[in-house]
Amino acid sequence: MKDLAINIPRSLQTKAVNSSDDVSPTQELKVQLISITEDDAGQRIDNFLMRICKGVPKSHLYRVLRSGEVRVNKGRVDQLYRLQRDDVVRVPPIRVAEKSAAAAPGAEFTVLFEDQHLLIIDKPAGVAVHGGSGVSYGVIEQLRSARPEAKFLELVHRLDRETSGVLLLAKKRSALVHLHEQMRDGVTDKRYFALVHGDWKNARQHVKLPLHKYTTAEGERRVRVQADGMASHTVFTLKTKFTHYALLEAELKTGRTHQIRVHLSASGFAIAGDDKYGDFALNRALQKATNERGALKRMFLHAHQITFLHPESNKEMIVNAKLPPDCEKFLQSLR
């Protein structure tokens, strides 16, 4: 398989040094010397390398780090080293197979808000937020391809592949750090709409069930309720009640993987269309319309609102994403 050179983003290149002992037949590879700016300061060297060396497997980057080929200010560092402003990082020539280095196709998504610090989009259902676990690329890779001039673009948080709605991305490292601090301190407020099957009774209900992450024999990431799991808290508010369904607003008090889905499933109310924790017979039936309702061919879980403090102005921001047309159409059929 043909080897390809990894190209460091132009905005990070400061100087190229010829490397005579690692040259491909078609292209001369070069050592890159990268000056660390304020936006890049504070992050670990391994995370920095993963960002700038697109397509390189993590295992390969860690081997390069351990070998001492990556240097900071001409000295060796380990993977835990945190970059400082004006550090000079030496990145050696790195080869990866063409299949691994294939670029994601550029794509833009519906923008809910954007300035020099933030990009907030309305993620469609069925699109992963990042590549991995059998997915070649996701939202972040597609946006980076569409915006090659962007010096920094990172996910602030994640949404499940089948969940639609508000997704925050940081355009500066300082914004990313600030927003992560808000999430750790419980300053941010995330609200989701979920449609469940069953006779939901309470106008407002707290669910506090500890959650444990595990991996199946097939390598699939899953979550279950378990006594020694991570403390997890979701508040559900009834928005609209239908004959056999209920539209709920879920307020996350903690942010565990698959939290809303597992909390509802464990409470006896599966999210319509949930292919991991839902009612599989119901999901199959929902694929086709009946005289009583329309068809639903996705999981009905939508991140409709997030509230946070702007990382620069510190002013409160509330960003909303309307229900997607397919979800709205299904609700209309229930009415």
Rounded-to-integer distance, Cα 100 and Cα 55, Å? 5
Tokens read off for 259: 């939290």
Beta strands in the chain (DSSP E): 3-5, 15-23, 28-35, 71-72, 75-76, 88-91, 95-97, 110-114, 118-123, 154-155, 164-170, 189-197, 204-208, 211-215, 221-225, 233-241, 245-252, 301-309, 316-320
Q: Are 131 and 104 in contact (CB under 8 A)?
A: yes
N- to C-terminal Cα distance for the chain? 57
Rounded-to-integer distance, Cα 235 and Cα 249, Å? 8
What amino acid positions are annotated as catalytic residues? 160
Q: φ, ψ for residue 82 (rounded to 5)?
A: -100, 130
